Amino acid sequence: AQSVTQLDSQVPVFEEAPVELRCNYSSSVSVYLFWYVQYPNQGLQLLLKYLSGSTLVKGINGFEAEFNKSQTSFHLRKPSVHISDTAEYFCAVSDLAGGYNKLIFGAGTRLAVHP
């Protein structure tokens, strides 16, 4: 079965600094990877996804992630964060073994952007 590990439960950072949120997944023949963001008291919003093709994927709000098959990683990055980026970020992998698309989530990383 697939699994996802988000290596940092909390990441504090100052405004306008770069940030990287780390995500590793268990290996599989083929994999679909996602990053979602959750603002307080809201549902999950899709940030970006990797399905195939270019290993560098760009998402909304200036975020990007790089798929690294050899390291089974899918780290999320942003070159300059804003206060409004404060939220919880979830990495997820699709598990298609059961014949349907089942998302397996990491435990989440809380990004706190300070002025």
Partner 1 sequence: SQTIHQWPATLVQPVGSPLSLECTVEGTSNPNLYWYRQAAGRGLQLLFYSVGIGQISSEVPQNLSASRPQDRQFILSSKKLLLSDSGFYLCAWTGTRNTIYFGEGSWLTVV
Residues engaged in binding partner 1 (CB under 8 A): 32, 34, 36, 41-46, 49, 51, 90, 94, 96, 100-103, 105-108
Please state the closest distance from residue 75 (CB atom) to partner 1, in A: 18
Instruction: Considering the complex, state which of residue 22 and residue 102 has its C-beta at the smaller distance from partner 1.
Output: 102
Cα 31 to Cα 23, 28, 38, 102: the distances in Å are 14, 6, 23, 12
Please state the closest distance from residue 103 (CB atom) to partner 1, in A: 5
Question: 3-class DSSP state for residue 95?
Answer: strand
Instruction: Considering the complex, state which of residue 41 and residue 54 has its C-beta at the smaller distance from partner 1.
Output: 41
Question: 3-class DSSP state for residue 21?
Answer: strand
Instruction: Considering the complex, state which of residue 15 and residue 38 has its C-beta at the smaller distance from partner 1.
Output: 38
Please state the closest distance from residue 14 (CB atom) to partner 1, in A: 26
CA distance 86 to 17: 13
DSSP conformation class of 41: T
Are 36 and 45 within 8 A, CB to CB? yes
DSSP conformation class of 1: -
Instruction: Considering the complex, state which of residue 30 and residue 115 has its C-beta at the smaller distance from partner 1.
Output: 30
